[in-house]
Amino acid sequence: MGPWGQPGWSGQCRDGTGGMGGVGAGPAYWEGKERDEIGTGMGWAWVPVGDRCWCAADGLAQGRLLALGGCGLLLASALAAGDERLYAAAVMPALRALPPEAAHGLALRAAALGLLPPTRPDGPALEVRVLGQRFRNPLGLAAGFDKQCEAVDGLFKMGFGFVEVGTVTPKPQEGNPRPRVFRLAQDEAVINRYGFNSHGHAAVERRLRARQETQIRLTGAGMPLGVNLGKNKSSTDAAADYVAGVRTLGPLADYLVVNVSSPNTPGLRDLQGKAELRDLLSKVLVERDLLPCERKPAVLVKIAPDLTAQDKQDIASVVCELGVDGLIVSNTTVSRPSSLRSRQRMEPGGLSGKPLRELSTQIIREMYALTQGRVPIIGVGGVSNGQDALEKIRAGASLVQLYTALVYHGPPVVGTVKRELEELLREQGFKNVMEAVGADHRC
């Protein structure tokens, strides 16, 4: 997607160039050199931006453009002040007045511009050593927020201990038609069916190389970078797509994620089958070991929460047999709990946020037991406070990630989760995070 979350143009520019209606996008879209766009969901708004231009296609679009401008001012003010109350009272409601994908684009642009408040230093109790790396704290940003690797440095300034970009596919692809993301505000959840919208390996590689020295310093300071790999929708050789990702992006990452669990790419979850997974991971690991870099990236597999008991046993068996470095548990769910109240709860796609919390924690607990605690786990799904994070850690996660919580609470949630986690560790008698990993299995 473009920098503001919606591709395609309509109308006529001041320079006489025609719009590109629909969802088609040429090289200018992929490189972002000639036009920026704000999708309103009901029309398009274009205004001058330096030597670029945006055209107003309808009144509703212009109104939403003004709303977006107001959101931007609020966002900048709150970021500069680091005011959690301003976020809760004004910024987040204003962002939620925008279409979800446009709000996502605005938040990403703010992060890319570094419009972020200072974060307090992490205490030593939060440090984790796992996957051959030091993490300054166990809280990471899950894949899906910065799909195209456009805002990594700003995201680290928010206080994350690690950032995972992607999912990245070999060739550029637009993903599924819009609308494809829906807020379930009453449930603090999101349903998405993005479908791996990606700028492709080449574009992401250029961005990673441009900041390679910066990332080396960040990794040394306890802020590793992960890259989430996927396959193109049209691909007939999934393994070749993942191997290409390892070859191209592996030298620039601290860890790689083999994403075989998104529900939004047809046939992808079939790769979680025992024979298919063994074949895929064998090829990925061989390619990783052949990388010319001195320090090879760890390889993790991201799995779905919608697995049978046999599926989980098979995955654990393959991961232990091949020596895969870790698991990410879990992706979004295609299930729809009866507790959901929001009007859009039955939209197709993957459900994330609070309704996924207990399910993902249970899968963490099971995978930790099935692998006898020998395979590090990154826990993700419904984390929005310190208690959520600690539950996943006690169940067996060495690290945790969040994403949907940002939609409802904004950047201050990062500091809140860390602060509450540190307090809970102390209250429960743990000296540090690593002492608490898998504690429920020792009771």
Catalytic residues, by residue number, are: 262
Tell me how far apart the alpha carbons of residues 32 and 109 are, in angstroms, rounded to a whole number.
13
Q: Are 126 and 164 in contact (CB under 8 A)?
A: no
Q: Token digits for 167?
A: 């999912």
Hunting for tokens 């049209």 — which residue is that? 234
> What is the DSSP secondary-structure string of 347-391?
-SSEEEEGGGHHHHHHHHHHHHHHTTT-S-EEEESS--SHHHHHH
Tell me how far apart the alpha carbons of residues 133 and 136 are, in angstroms, rounded to a whole number.
10
> What is the DSSP secondary-structure string of 14-63?
TTSPBP--TT---HHHHHTSS----B-SS-B----BTTB-----SHHHHH
Q: Are 398 and 438 in contact (CB under 8 A)?
A: no
Q: ω into residue 404 within 30 of 0, thus cis?
A: no
Tell me how far apart the alpha carbons of residues 255 and 249 are, in angstroms, rounded to a whole number.
10
Hunting for tokens 């079939």 — which residue is that? 270
**Three-class secondary structure of residue 182 per DSSP:** strand
Q: Which helix (H) or strand (E) holds 258?
A: strand 255-259
Shortest CA distance to 98 belongs to which of 165, 52, 38?
Answer: 38
Q: ω into residue 40 within 30 of 0, thus cis?
A: no
Tell me how far apart the alpha carbons of residues 246 and 353 are, in angstroms, rounded to a whole number.
29
